[in-house]
Amino acid sequence: MAAKTTPVAGGGARSATAAKNEDGRGTVKKGDDGRSGGDDRRLHYGAEDIQVLEGLEAVRRRPGMYIGATDLRGLHHLVREVLDNSIDEAMNGVCDRIDVIIHKDDRITVMDNGRGIPVEKQKQTGKSALEVVHTILHAGGKFGGAGYKVSGGLHGVGVSVVNALSSHLRVEVHRDGKVFMQEYERGKPLGPVRAATKNGYEPPTLTWKPRERLTGTITTFTADPQVFPVIQWDAEIISQWLRETAYLNKGLWLSLSDERNGAGESFYFDGGIVSFVRHLNKAHEVLHKPVYVERRFENDTVAEIAIQYNDSFAERVYTFANNINTMDGGAHLTGFRTALTRTLNFHARKIGLLREADPNLTSDDVREGLTAVISAKIKEPQFEGQTKTRLGNAEVQGQVAQAVNDALGQFLEENPPDARRIIEKCLTAFRAREAARKARDLVLRKGALDGFSLPGKLADCQERDPERAELFIVEGDSAGGSAKQGRDRRFQAVLPLRGKILNVEKSRADKMLGNEYIRAIITALGTGIGEYFDAKKLRYGRTILLADADVDGSHIRTLLLTLLYRHFRPLIEDGRIFIGQPPLYRIQLGKEVRWGYSDNERDKAIKELKTLARTKREARKKGDKPEPAETAPLNTDEGTDDGKGGREPAIARYKGLGEMNAEQLWDTTLNPETRTLKLVTLHDAEQADLCFDELMGTEVEGRKKWIMANAKKASLDV
């Protein structure tokens, strides 16, 4: 709910000083210099109000402008910025190994065997180039010089921003037969660049591949606790970056060492993005071997595409530009989809699977079960927006389309059985899409006849502003009834579900739309799904899943998350999906009640209540007058005799939401002031896809193996 605001009479707030300086006519008195008297400077705006932030002070003053935020995501962005410099060396063919180390004291080291940052004097500043790139924003070798043909870091702010936001940074460059070093504290050099002959550490050399030269850059930094409230490195996040980078740069060795627990991983893929596609399809039966093409064009653009169809219904297409994950697509994705649809239609008619009177396959038809990775390396990439999530280079669209046309057309000609399987799958998708359209039209027509009525079991709220309203999807009619009675009707809506909904991972859209409960969820949310999804029609700013704390409840919650991930993914990306956390225990001693959401909280509550009861007993023995809140009798029927003159708390274990009455459900799970919610986030789309594929998909044998391998890790409450 929005914070309450109190309007000020007259339309604005005034400082106390300004009020005192007003005369009887309501004018503001002025000083000798003609400015407003007192401390009110609102009417004055002069040159002295303009500040110039020197060096990297702007970064420290406004870190969110450069790394997004100072939370854990922004913290890990520091690693990515340093890592990207090494990856740029690899993309230009002068580096084949990068190592990342998480030290026990939370320092981070990134080292590569690239060329090493230049150290000679930079003519514009008269300082060492090493110091320039670490202390001046928008300084680097990626602004059109001959140093880099392609680069992911285009703004020249990466390593200088890391330096500014680090309490200490040390850089070590190996080149020209020497070691050059410089250290910084919160962005400021602690001394000049020092040089020494090589007599110690050498950049890593691959044991299986001798290097012609021993050069490279080693950067070690400590994130500044004055900037980041929490410094806690997640090795899994860094590991995913390294794995993805290894796929996109075949022949590049990347490793991660975590000194905190001795763990380590290395990534190397000779197959590049072909290996990536095989990895994405490992939980499915594939229809053919991957189709791969790499094409270099006159403007130095390199288009690399890998394609493979599987037996699923979902599309998995990942696009990259200069190793940057362009999640919103752009020119390279448009060119790929255009060529894919055109080539498959042409071949389908050529072999007679599409007759002259038949309509063409659409883009939606040819994307079912498609897995593809599109990687473009571009000399001057143009990204739409600061986040670099969409590629804007118009010429890349035609280049990617040409590469796909030629490679896919040749593959279909040379592999008739595979070509037939692919096109027959597309035709099946076409027929299913038509059936789904009819089912969707039927749902819409029924809604129109009913006056677009909401699902019968939905208890709607009074609030019509989506940002102030929330929807609880509750497992079971009993729990749904308690939730309807206990909720705040002003802004909380409740939709109860009975049993388990359909697993949409194994169902096409026509079957999904035939499911009563899924239709109810679609109608309640109001956004539509798939190509009809419209976030502006969302009826509730928050959707909260409430399920029992048992195995069946976990299964129902997983089915709901599968539905939301596959068909309402923008809601997850916008941070609008939550999981409610009902308590596992109710602990009562006398009139005192505590709630426990875990075994640890239960034990803590027991100890707290027994201590409180003992304190009260001792106070009574001394004849102290109790506080008003303590006048209620302690030893009621709530609790059991502990055999020592005291009582043990009564403990109730909740197996289901239906065991709580409306008041208890409000106090523990519905009340925004006291409840606990888990935000559902999407940190890594690739891993999320694989998880849903493996655990919810059609490949039973793979799921069985996964369960057998991980059974001992499960903590079940049955």
Residues tagged active-site = 475, 548, 550, 552
Rounded alpha-carbon distances, angstroms, from residue 212 to 96, 114, 180:
12, 11, 20
Q: DSSP string covering 460-497, please?
A: --S---GGG-EEEEEESHHHHHHHHHHS-TTTEEEEEE
Report the candidate in 332, 390, 334, 340 with the shortest Cα–Cα distance to residue 360. Answer: 340
Cα–Cα distance for residue pair 224/226, rounded to 1 Å: 5
Strands 542-546, 577-580: pairing is parallel
Contact yes or no for 252/144 (Cβ under 8 A): no
The label of the residue with tokens 């042409």 reads 346
Give 585: exposed, middle or buried? Use CB within 10 Å, 0-12, 13-18, 19+: buried
Say which amino acid occupies 616.
Answer: K
Tokens linked to 560: 């709901």
Contact yes or no for 462/491 (Cβ under 8 A): yes
Centre a 10 Å sphere on the Cβ of residue 232 and count the other Cβ atoms it contains. 10
Helices (H) and strands (E) in the chain, counts: 21, 26
Contact yes or no for 135/189 (Cβ under 8 A): yes
| Cα torsion angle, 69, 265, 302, 396, sign | negative
Cα–Cα distance for residue pair 367/341, rounded to 1 Å: 9
Tokens linked to 709: 């391998």
Instruction: Output helix, strand, coil percentages for the chain, rounded to the nearest 5.
Output: 40, 20, 40
Rounded alpha-carbon distances, angstroms, from residue 338 to 335, 362, 414:
5, 10, 22
Cα–Cα distance for residue pair 116/221, rounded to 1 Å: 17
Rounded alpha-carbon distances, angstroms, from residue 213 to 116, 200, 222, 336:
11, 16, 30, 40
Contact yes or no for 504/549 (Cβ under 8 A): no
Contact yes or no for 333/317 (Cβ under 8 A): yes
Torsion angle defined by CA atoms of residues 704, 706, 708 and 714, in that order, rounded to the nearest 10 degrees: -120
Which residues does 171 contact at the CB level (< 8 Å), separation at least 6? 117, 130, 134, 181, 182, 183, 217, 218, 219, 220
Tokens linked to 2: 């929005």
Contact yes or no for 73/682 (Cβ under 8 A): no
Report the candidate in 332, 326, 305 with the shortest Cα–Cα distance to residue 398. Answer: 332
Report the candidate in 530, 504, 429 with the shortest Cα–Cα distance to residue 696. Answer: 504
Q: Give the H or E element holding residue 338.
A: helix 331-350
**What are the DSSP E strand ranges found in 388-537?**
470-475, 492-497
Burial annotation 150-188 (CB, 10 A radius, 16+ → b, else e): bbbbbebbbbbbbbbbbbbbbbbbbbeeebbbbebebbe
Contact yes or no for 103/109 (Cβ under 8 A): yes
